[in-house]
């Protein structure tokens, strides 16, 4: 009668006392080394397996620690950004702070803002690029977004928001700015195709959008959306 390797493995699993009764086999059995041509004892093979498992666990732990440090760094940056926004007394300061923080602290190469349905007391501010006309179709598309849109493609004619240099971007994050209703959008671009991608986590992008939206509404007035 012959047994398959699976049957032998199952039998040994069900009878762990076997090696207690035949302990000499632990040193007598020769097993091929997993990384060489020579043979090792069962005890040595088990030790190698434990070491490999330990290395795998250590690698996973280091990966988790790296993610934790990265998250801590982002949280600290968002905290400092929040403090800078709170200290602003005018809409122009909020916008300038947003551009500077995203570019310098968050290392986003291209940042574009568009606002509609809001106005500012600051002279000629409505003539700034942030207040350039945005079609109702795009406004509707952005108002329907429940979270930032990330990937390599932009909807409709949002590409027109980019300058010739920015048009070389390989990945984007489009963040709707909302306070009860959508009144603007923040467009982030990067030449790195892996910086923003579909399916990525957007928690911190959502936090940024909330902070910026709240800060803008502190210094802007609501307008009729049809204006």
CATH number at residue 167: 3.30.450.40
Are 121 and 29 in the same domain?
Answer: no
Query: What is the tens place of the pLDDT at every residue in 174-211?
Result: 999 998 899 999 999 999 999 999 999 999 999 999 99
Residue 36 structure tokens: 């060489």
CA–CA distance, 96 with 215 (Å, rounded to integer): 12
**Does 115 lie in the same domain as 10?**
no
Query: H or E segment at 158?
Result: none
Same domain for 35 and 101, yes or no, is: no
**Number of structural domains found in the chain:** 2
pTM as predicted? 0.71
**227, part of any domain:** no
Residues 21 and 92 in one domain: no
Residues with Cβ within 8 Å of 197's Cβ and at least 6 positions away in sequence, in order, are 150, 151, 152, 171
* pLDDT surpassing 90 at residue 150: yes
Mean residue pLDDT across the chain: 85
Evaluate if residue 125 carries a pLDDT over 70: no
Same-domain pairing of 33 and 103 = no
72 is written with which tokens?
């801590």
Which is more confident, 55 or 101? 101
Q: What pLDDT is recorded for position 148? A: 96
Report yes or no on 18 lying in a domain: yes
83 part of a folded domain = no
Q: Please check whether residues 102 and 213 belong to one and the same domain.
A: yes
> Are 35 and 93 in a shared domain?
no
211 is a domain residue: yes
The boundaries of the domain holding residue 202 are 88-222
Evaluate if residue 60 carries a pLDDT over 60: yes
């Amino acid at each position: 009668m012959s047994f398959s390797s699976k049957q032998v493995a199952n039998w040994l699993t069900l009878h762990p006392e076997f090696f207690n009764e035949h302990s000499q086999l632990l040193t007598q059995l020769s097993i091929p080394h997993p990384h060489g041509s020579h043979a090792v004892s069962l005890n040595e093979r088990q030790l190698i397996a434990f070491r490999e498992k330990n290395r795998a666990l250590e690698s996973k732990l280091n990966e988790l620690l790296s993610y934790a440090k990265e998250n801590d760094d982002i949280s600290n940056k968002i905290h400092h950004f929040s403090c800078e926004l709170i200290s602003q007394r005018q809409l122009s300061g909020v916008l300038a702070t947003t551009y500077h923080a995203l570019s310098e602290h968050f290392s986003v190469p291209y940042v574009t803002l568009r606002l509609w349905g809001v106005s500012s007391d600051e002279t000629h501010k409505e003539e700034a690029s942030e207040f350039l006309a945005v079609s109702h179709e795009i406004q509707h598309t952005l108002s329907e977004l429940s979270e930032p849109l990330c990937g390599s493609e932009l909807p409709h004619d949002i590409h027109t928001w980019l300058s010739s240099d920015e048009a070389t971007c390989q990945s984007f994050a489009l963040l709707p700015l909302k306070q009860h209703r959508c009144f603007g959008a923040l467009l982030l671009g990067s030449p790195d195709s892996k910086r923003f991608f579909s399916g990525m986590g957007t928690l911190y992008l959502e936090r940024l959008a909330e902070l910026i939206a709240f800060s803008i509404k502190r210094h802007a007035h609501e307008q009729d959306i049809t204006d």
